[in-house]
Structures are given as structure tokens and as C-alpha cells.
Amino acid sequence: MDSFPVVKNILLLDSEGKRVAVKYYSDDWPTNTAKLAFEKSLFAKTMKSNARTEAEITMFDSNIVLYKFVQDLHFYVTGGEDENELILAAVLQGFFDSISLLLRSNVDKREALENLDLIFLCLDEIVERGMILETDANVIAGKVAVNSMDPSAPLSEQTIGQALATAREHLTRTLFQ
Amino acid sequence: MAMAQPLVKKDDDHDDEAEYSPFLGIEKGAVLQEARVFNDPQLDPRRCSQVITKLLYLLNQGDSFSKNEATEVFFSVTKLFQSKDLGLRRMVYLIIKELSPSSDEVIIVTSSLMKDMNSKTDMYRANAIRVLCQITDGTLLTQIERYLKQAIVDKNPVVASAALVSGIHLLQTNPEIVKRWSNEVQEAVQSRAALVQFHALALLQQIRQNDRLAVSKLVTSLTKGAVRSPLAQCLLIRYASQVIRESANTQTGDRPFYDFLESSLRHKAEMVVFEAARAITELSSVTNWELTPAITALQLFLSSSKPVLRFAAVRALNKGVGCIDLVVFQNAWESELVMGLELVCFDPVAMTHPMAVTNCNIDMESLISDQNRSIATLAITTLLKTGNESSVDRLMKQITNFMSDIADEFKIVVVEAIRSLCLKFPLKYRSLMNFLSNILREEGGFDYKKAIVDSIVILIRDIPEAKESGLLQLCEFIEDCEFTYLSTQILHFLGNEGPKTTDPSKYIRYIYNRVHLENATVRAAAVSTLAKFGAMVDALKPQIFVLLRRCVFDSDDEVRDRTTLYLNTLGGDGEVVETDKETKTLLFGALDIPLVNLERSLKNYEPSEEPFDIDSVPKEVKSQPLAEKKAPGKKPIGLGAPLAGPPSTFDAYERLLSSIPEFLGFGKLFKSSAPVELTEAETEYAVNVIKHIFDRHVVFQYNCTNTIPEQLLENVSVIVDLSEADDFAEVLSKPLQSLPYDTPGQTFVAFEKPEGITAVGKFSNTLRFIVKEVDPTTGEAEEDGVEDEYQLEDLEVVAADYMMKFGVSNFRNAWESMGDDFEHVDEYGLGPRENLAEAVSAVINLLGMQPCEGTEVVATNSRSHTCLLSGVFLGNVRVLVRLQFGIDGSRDVAMKLAVRSEDKAVSDTIHEIVSSG
């Protein structure tokens, strides 16, 4: 057992198993080919399960994988086989909930791709090189949302997307207080 | 199969995708062009962020940037520090981490990042620390150390966490620097911010991990105080169990920190409860009293609506049981306790114990039908692992109910678990055999059916009472079996086992039906099986003849050929007569040659006057698992056939030795040992030795390597002292002329030994040589050398050296056809042993024979064991050994040794080896 919980990877795949955003923290998969192979077989193993209401869990290649699906998005968190399953579950929950907060009503692939910067920032705030940074979705989304706005730009110069982002950000802030 | 569905959909989806992916058709070259906006004098933050997102997207999809591309992007990204835009800065931090710049590039951003590290904006400080610590090397670290120490105690938790987590990573590369931060980290452990405490605790433990006392102190102080986050509490539990583990040997009486673990079971966070429960189940020699609260906690999880909780709990119980099994071996009274414990935890009959604990079993049983397969698999294996005789029937009923709902791969796991349960409780064979035959009739793929058939075959083999019913089940199965492989395998098995039953005639109908209804392969197998019945059961011979004669006109030539062969060899022309031994050997003798080797030899055979000699086919020393049993009717060879050449390394040795004229008179090489190292690793001279055994001689082949570039060795030989090897006499030594650096060479020493005696002894070896200095620049050796010696380790020749491992695929057949002419049976006391497994492996190693049919594996906890060995003794004498072991309460092991061989002297020799070994 590691002396502190270690996350080996966090994956966000679409309904065909293709990458939306992934982050690997372990050397278990040294090449992109190895990573893709892992994603492919993991997706094949889990795609038929119903992980929409509660997160599901499986053993896969001597790893524990927790996963949850919403719309056409598949969320995965992988840890070593001796890891406390519930800690990994907390990471998955934090990842899933913060993305849900950030994408608001439309948690699907299209929205995720259009806000890919938020997804990347979100991954960056959850785990740093395998060490858990934060699992509270409100805190994670709060940290990410702060940055999605350019506070100096006057409202009139913002595009519709930016305006929406500002509004979303505003809403998030008020919600978290 | 699993992927089929989305792949079909793909085409329709593709058009939609074109609409909504903002990254469709994105190209690395174009994005790199776009990245030039980073150099614009008037920065557009939004545009820049978008470009960075595109770059990140490309990297994330697995695109790689060349060194030049990465450098160019990195340099232009550094320009973006001019912008005050928060969002853009965040993206800049991200892309810098992803580009992982080289150390000379890092310098470019160092000042910008250090400026951010001292910014008033928390977000800048936190991220700048993370980026800088990730890309920096040791030299820069000393410059920023002061800021990091400050950051650890920063009042903003995000900044503190960033510094602490960076510290955890830096500890791997720069431990001496990070260890200087102890005071700050210690302060952070007291932080009110939950995550800061978690990160600080992780770092502090890492810093002190080699100081047992310090960790113990840390745990003591924290278990009393308030730990704020579940994650930190989990860490504390891990460190407490570590302290318990390490103090296990030194302390007596109460286990330290058990109370802390137990109180954590009542924590409000599930992850803490689980961490504590798991820690308790993994304690070494845990007592029933200690375990009960943890089991209760896990039991609550078993019935949770969350799959993760159910999974975690059943896995912890499963693993805990595994650990407990190991304990059984270590301590006699402990095993009593564990058995009691298993009853408490898993046996509903143990009514004397609290209901809460007893219910565990029921909760677990309900998990058998869990939607999540991983959970169901864990549940079933746990139950089967812990199940006892009285719960078998109920368990079978449970499993039967859901077998139809699950996939084949999972069914195989269940079948295998049931097989081992049946071997554990042979009295329960009836209900288990019933279960197997029921599922055999249901739908299923090849692998699943094969697993069932294999299981039934194993049960028939190991549980005599199960034989008749098992054989009938198999007969019924082949009546309607779609898999040729399984049909032929079963027919072969029937041919071996059927004739030995009380009423062999009842199987004939099933077998003969195959001749009418099946394809040629199965028909051929059925004909062979009929012939075996005819050969073994004299009373049935006339009927078999009638049936076989009908097959003479089969449409397939293999079937016809076999029929003709059997009709001719069975003899008696349909009368009730005894079959001669040669025919039985032909029918039942196992093919001792691996098929691949036979195939290769046949391909190499050039048609000529000389017939193909099956004895020239190499034999591989490897026991054949049951599943790989030979298809029936392949051309068999008798057991008495002389042995032919073994594997390729042996051939190589043989060639090498026969190239040396002095050894030609020694006759044919019998066996060569694996190399034995005579020097430690990484010494000046590396020497290993191979023992070559001949009828009356033993040759030591010393492989020497000179690992010193400045030396050339000449006239290298080994001086062997025979004072502890009386039976041997040195006949010649063949020195090595020259041994240059890193070019292995061989020197040989040959000994004579009396024929027919398994001479053993210990040989002490000294390497003697002339050493010459080599000029490293020219590579030329000096004229004059110095004589020197180098002590090597001793070498032993043991009885096992005269034995060659030689697998047989069907031991019973081999045993019976060997006959008891030269059987020698005796009993031995092996004295007190750790356990049976240890005694069994000691005898196997002593004899150096090949264990057959997996009998070298001893079931845990068993009190008796039978082990089957096969080998070839010096002089090409086949030897079969049947060892029966028993262990009593005081751990005394008794052994009955039965040897059958082709030579009385060899049988006796085996006994001598055992009695003197």
C-alpha cells in the first residue's frame, strides 16, 4: 500500500471511447499507444454497465477503476489495486460534480469540447502528479471558474460566449457563497 | 463483440460530429502557425487562450511536438506573461507544464514565475509554485527555498497545499533540501484547512519514514488531537497500522493504536470507516475480539446501495480471509482460532454468535446476483473460499438460480471455484456433481463447457465414488455435443476409465452412437475407445468385434485404418480371450513425445530406405496439464522404448563435448546440469560450472569470464580437491590456453566413478592461471606473467544429478504398464517439518524427478498428500515414484515411498537416496 493515496489517471471519454480529455499520472502506460490501448479495453469492458445513477467500480489489469457516465460522457478514475476504493470514489465524484457545475445544464460531449479549457483546468486542480489536491467539487469549480473570465474586458466587447461565461461565473460564485 | 455496437453507429454519427466538434480537422501545423499571435505587440487574451487550448488538445490527443516545435511554442508562450489577464495566465501555467521545457529553457521563465510566486493574487502564488517546482532542477531550488518555506505556512490554503504537494514530489529528487522544511511542515499539520493538513501529514510522514520513533510519535500526538479531513484521517490510519506492524515483534500485551482504529470505525466519513476496517482485517494474528467490530462495519457496506461500497467491503473480506489462511501455517493454536473465526464470520449455523456477525454470510450471498459482475465474482469466490461443508448445498442452490443470467467468462470462474470446493469436501461430491452436470446441459460456449468437462474429469480422477455418475454424465453430454474437441477428449477418457467400472457394457451404446452420428474425427476417436473396451474387458470382446466390423466400411480412411488395425491387434478373432500386453501398450501407452517435436521431426525426415525412427524425436521435459491430453489413437510408443535426445541446450553440450577427443571414450552423455555459479556477482572473474554425467564419468565444464580489462589470463585451469569426494578419481584436466577480457572460455576436469553407483561428494575448486598485464591504450599484453590462484565456491554432486526429469501425461497408465516386477515400497519418518508442502518439495528436490499431474502442489492445511514423480535414471532406466505423505498433530511427517522402475537395482537406489538424504 502506498503511504498516501495515489491516482494513476483520470479519463474523460465519449460514448465511442474516444478521448475528450485525459490525464495520466503514472508510468504504467509509458507511450501513447499503451494509453490508447488501456482506454480502449477499459471502455469495452465498462460501456455496457449502467453507471448513470451511482458510480460503478471494477478491477482492470490489477487496477481499480471507478467510473460514472452522463449523457455521452464517460468519467473514469484509476488507482492501484491496494488503494482505498472510497478515496478514489471521492476523486471521481469531485471530478464529475465539478464538471457538471462548470458545464451547467448541458453536461455532454459537445459542451465539454466547447469548454475544453475548463476541463483541462479542472483536471489540473483535482490531482497534481498523482497526489490528490482537492475533492470538493464546489472548491474545484470555484477555482476554475475564477479564471474563465477576463475581468478587465468591458461587457460590450465580450462575445456572446464570454457573456455567458461571465454570467455562469457570476452564478457559480453566488451559489458557492 | 463489445465494440460492435458503437462501430456500427459511427457512420451516422460522423456527420453530427462534424457540426459540433470545435476541433474538427484541427492540424498541428496550422495551430503552430496560429501560435504566432503570442508574439503580437497587442495581445488578444481570448484568442491566445483559444490557441493554447488547441495546443493542449493536440498534446492530449497524443500528438507530439518535435524538439524545435516545442521550443518555439515555449518561447512564444513566455511572452504571454506580459498580459494581466487571469484566465490567460492560468492557461500559460498549464501549457508550460505540458511542454516540460529543458533546463536551459526553464531559465527564461524563472524570473516571471518567481515574480508570480510573490504576487498578491493567491491564484498566481499557488500556480507559480506548482509550475516552478515541476519544471525546476535542484540548482534553482536553493534559490526559491525561502519562498517555499513561507508558502507552506501561507494563510491561503491553496498556496500552502501547492507548496506541500510540490514538496512531496521534490522529496524524491532533492530529499536533503525538503527535509529542512520539517518545522514549517509540522506547523502546517496543525492547519485548520482540511486539505492542508492532509498534504502536510503526507509530507511529514515521507520526510520521517525512515525514523520509526518519529513516525510513532507523530501518530501518537495526532490520534489524540483533531484531524480535520477524512483524507487526513485515512493517512493517520495507514501510519498507525504501519507502527503496529513494526512494533509487532517487540511489544507484548495490548496492541498500540487498536483503540484508535476501532474508534475510526464510527467516523462519519465512509472512506475512514473503510480504511479502518481494512486496516483491522489486515492486522497480523488478529483476534476474534479485535476483528468483530470491523466485520460489522464492512457488513453494513455489503448492503449499501452504492456499488463502490459493496465492492470495497466484499474485497476487504475476501482479502482478509486470504491473509488469515496464511496465518494458519504459522501457528498451531492460531489455526484453531481462525477456523473458529471463519465459523463466526461466515457460517449461519454458528448460532452461538451475535446475529450481526452471522448475517454477513447472508448479505454476501445476496451479492452473488449483484448487477456489477466484479462484485458478484468477489462474493462468490469469498463464499466458496470460506464455505464449510454444511453450507455447500444452500450455496449451490443460490448459484444455480443466477447461473443463467451471467456471461460465460464469469461462469468459468464459478465452475473453477466449485471444483476446488469439491476437492475440499469430497463427501459433498453428489450435489456438486449434480450442479456441474446440470450446467453442462445448458447453453454455453466452448471455454465454458471445457471448464465443466475438465472439472468433472478431475472429480472423477480424485474422488473414486464420483466415477460412475460422472462418466454417465459425460456420456450423456457427448450425445449432444457440438464441440469435436470435447467429444474426442471425453471418448478418450471413457476408453481409459470405462473398462475399469463395474458394468462397462452400459457405456458401449453411447460410444457406438458416435460412430453413426458424428464427423470423422469423433468417429475415429469412438473406434479407438471401443477397441480399448475390447482389449480390457475380455467378456465384451465378441460384441466389440461385431461393432468394429461395421466400421470397416466407413467413408473416412482414418476411421477405416484404425478399425482394421484394432481388429488385427485385438486378437482372438472375436473370441473371449485375454488380450496380450503388447496390444494394451499400443492402446493405452501414452505418447511420450511432445507433438510439436514429432511434427518437426517428421517434416525434417527425408523419404529414404531408412524408416522414420520415432526414438530420434526429442522429448521435452515438461509435465502436460490435463487439458492438453493427447487426442486418442495417435501412434503410441511403448514405455520400454529407449530414450532419445532431449532439448537443444543438451544437444549443444553434447556437440561441445564430443568435439574434445579426450572425452570420446566416455560414451553417450546422459545429463547436463544447469549452470551453478561458483563466484559472487561482479567479482574479478566470473565462473560457473556445468556437471556432465556419463555412465562411468563425470565432467565439470567451468565457464570462465575475465572481467578485468587490464588483464589477460593464460593457462587457466581449475584445481579440484577430492578429499570430500572419495568415490571420484580425477582422470584429466583440460586447461584453457588464453582468457582475454570479456570473452568467455571453458576449462574442463573429468573424473572417473564406479559404474552403477550414485557417487556423491563435495568438490572444492581453485582457479589457477597466469596473469599478464594489458596496456589499456595498445591492448597488448606484457611478456611476463605471474602465476596466481583464485578461490571458487564448492560444488556438490548429488543423487539428483543422476536423475533426469521426464514427464508423463498419464501417470496411472504409466504406473500400471510399468508393472510391479521391480517395485520397492517402504516407509520413512521425516521428523518434524514446518508443513506438508515443505516436506514434499524437499523430497522432490532430493530425487530431482519431474512431478506429474500437478501433484507437487499441496493444498493448504491438508494432513495428507500424494505426490507422483517420474524420471529417467542413469543408464536410461525409467523410474516412477508414488509418495504418500501424512502429518500428525506434532508436525511429524511420515512418508510411504513406492518406486517402480525397469531395474531392481535402480528401485533400491532410490530408496537408498531417500534413506540417506
DSSP states of A97-146: HHHHHHHTT--SHHHHHHTHHHHHHHHHHHEETTEE----HHHHHHHHHH
The model's pTM is 0.59
Concatenating the DSSP letter of every residue in B778-814 gives T-PBPS--EEEEEE---EEE-GGGGEEE---S-HHHH
Nearest Cα neighbor of B859 from B887, B841, B836, B881 is: B836
Residue B578 pLDDT grade (very low, low, confident, very high; cuts 50, 70, 90): low
How sure is the predictor about A149, in pLDDT bands with cuts at 50, 70 and 90?
very low
Predicted pLDDT at B355: 35
CA dihedral B331, B867, B901, B692 (to 10 degrees): -70
More confident residue, B854 or B795: B795
Task: Say what the pLDDT of residue B702 is.
Answer: 92
The identity of residue B381, as a single letter, is T
Residue B163 pLDDT exceeds 90: yes
Closest C-alpha among B522, B543, B526 to residue B534: B543
pLDDT at A156: 41
Residue B339 has pLDDT above 50, yes or no: no
B192, pLDDT greater than 60? yes
Beta bridge partners of A10: A23, A77
Map residue B285 onto helix, strand or coil: coil
pLDDT at B55: 95
Of B46, B53, B278, the CB nearest to A150: B46
CA nearest B619: which of B638, B586, B644?
Answer: B644
- Residue A164 has a pLDDT of 63
- Taking the Cβ of residue B315 and every Cβ of chain A, the question of whether any pair is shorter than 8 Å is answered with yes
Q: Quick one: average pLDDT of A37-61?
A: 90
pLDDT at B434: 86
Q: Which of A3, A86, A134 sits opposite B270 (nearest CB)?
A: A86
Tens digits of per-residue pLDDT, B810-822? 788 888 888 888 8
Angle between helices B467-479 and B505-517 (to 10 degrees): 20
**The pLDDT of residue A162:** 58
B199 touches chain A (CB under 8 A): yes
**What fold characterizes domain B649-797?**
Immunoglobulin-like (2.60.40)
Cβ pair B359, B351 in contact under 8 A? no
Q: Assess whether pLDDT exceeds 80 at residue B381.
A: no
Mutate to test the interface with B, among A120, A125, A136, A168 (most CBs of B within 10 A): A120
pLDDT recorded at residue A18: 94
Domains of chain A in start order, with CATH, are 7-150 (3.30.450.60)
Instruction: Judge whether residue B18 has pLDDT over 50.
Output: no
Q: Does B85 touch chain A (CB under 8 A)?
A: yes
Q: Residue B820 burial by CB count (10 A; 0-12/13-18/19+): exposed, middle or buried?
A: exposed
Q: Which residue has the higher pLDDT, A31 or B811?
A: A31
Please indicate whether, in this complex, the C-beta atoms of A58 and B374 are within 8 angstroms of each other. yes
Q: Is the pLDDT of residue A105 over 60?
A: yes
A157-161, B84-88, B709-713 — most confident range: B84-88
CA distance B192 to B205: 19
CB B636 within 8 A of CB B822: no
pLDDT tens digits for B662-705? Answer: 887 888 888 888 888 888 877 888 899 999 988 888 999 999 88
Distance CA B98, CA B714 (A): 58
**B665 or A6: whose pLDDT is higher?**
A6
The CATH code of domain B800-916 reads 3.30.310.10
Q: pLDDT value at position A158? A: 46
CA–CA distance from B76 to each of B80, B127, B192 (Å)? 7, 20, 41
Confidence band for B98, pLDDT divided at 50, 70 and 90: very high
What band does B138 get if pLDDT is binned at 50, 70 and 90? Answer: confident
- Considering Cα of B840, then B843, then B846, then B847, what sign does the dihedral take? negative
Using a CB cutoff of 8 Å and minimum separation of 24, what contacts does B339-345 make? Answer: B340/B288, B341/B288, B341/B291, B342/B386, B342/B388, B343/B388, B344/B288, B344/B292, B345/B291, B345/B295, B345/B317, B345/B386
CA distances from B118 to B143, B178, B196, B219, B363 (A): 14, 20, 20, 34, 57
Given a cut of 90, whether residue B516 has pLDDT beyond it is no
Query: Which helix (H) or strand (E) covers residue B4, if one does?
Result: helix B4-20
pLDDT in the model for residue B415: 85
The pLDDT > 90 percentage for chain A reads 68
Q: List chain B domain ranges.
A: 214-343, 483-589, 649-797, 800-916
Whether the pLDDT of residue B17 is over 50: the answer is no
pLDDT at B807 over 50: yes
Interface A-B, measured as beta-carbon pairs within 8 A, has a size of 162
Residue B619: per-residue pLDDT: 60
- Work out the pLDDT band at B627, boundaries 50, 70, 90: very low
pLDDT at residue B482 in the model: 86
* B629: pLDDT strictly greater than 70: no
Q: CA B455 to CA B419: how far, in whole Å?
A: 6
Position B9 scores a pLDDT of 42
Q: What confidence tier does B592 reach under pLDDT thresholds 50, 70, 90?
A: low
Q: Cβ contact (<8 Å) for B274 and A16?
A: no
How confident is residue B378, by pLDDT bands cut at 50, 70 and 90?
confident
Q: Which residues of A touch B307 (CB under 8 A)?
A: 54-57
pLDDT at B80: 94
Q: Choose from B132, B196, B311 for mutation: most chain A CBs within 10 A.
A: B311
B363 versus A10: the higher-pLDDT residue is A10
- Given a cut of 90, whether residue B196 has pLDDT beyond it is yes
Instruction: Report the range of poorest mean pLDDT among B105-119, B436-450, B614-628, B842-856.
Output: B614-628
pLDDT band, residue A84 (cuts 50/70/90): very high
Best mutation target, B16, B124, B374, to test chain A (most A CBs within 10 A):
B374
Residue contact A49–B372, C-beta within 8 A: yes
Q: Show the cell assigned to A4.
A: 498516501
Please provide the average confidence, as pLDDT, over all residues in chain B.
81
Say what percent of chain B tops pLDDT 90: 23
Q: What is the pLDDT of residue B575?
A: 59
Chain B residues with CB under 8 Å of A57 CB are: 307-308, 311-312, 372, 374-375
The answer to whether the Cβ–Cβ distance between A16 and B49 falls below 8 Å is no
Angle at the Cα of B590 (from B548 to B804), degrees rounded to 5? 170
| Nine-digit cell string for B760 | 556423491
Residue of B nearest to A91 (CA): B231
Instruction: Tell me how far apart the alpha carbons of residues B227 and B236 are, in angstroms, rounded to a whole number.
Output: 9
Q: What's the pLDDT at B639?
A: 31
Is a pLDDT exceeding 80 seen at residue B278? Answer: yes
pLDDT at residue A10 tops 70: yes
Whole-number pLDDT of residue B567: 84
**Cβ contact A113–B22 (<8 Å):** yes
Which of B217-221, B555-559, B591-595, B779-783 bottoms out in mean pLDDT, i.e. has the lowest? B591-595
Q: Note the pLDDT of residue B591.
A: 64
Interchain proximity A146–B61, CB inside 8 Å: no
- The cell for B551 is 466400421
Complex ipTM: 0.86
Of A115-129, B128-142, B660-674, the least confident: B660-674
Q: Indicate whether A103 pLDDT > 60.
A: yes
> Which grid cell is B138?
535542484
Distance from CA of A177 to the nearest CA of B (A): 17
Lowest mean pLDDT among B1-5, B24-28, B84-88, B338-342: B338-342
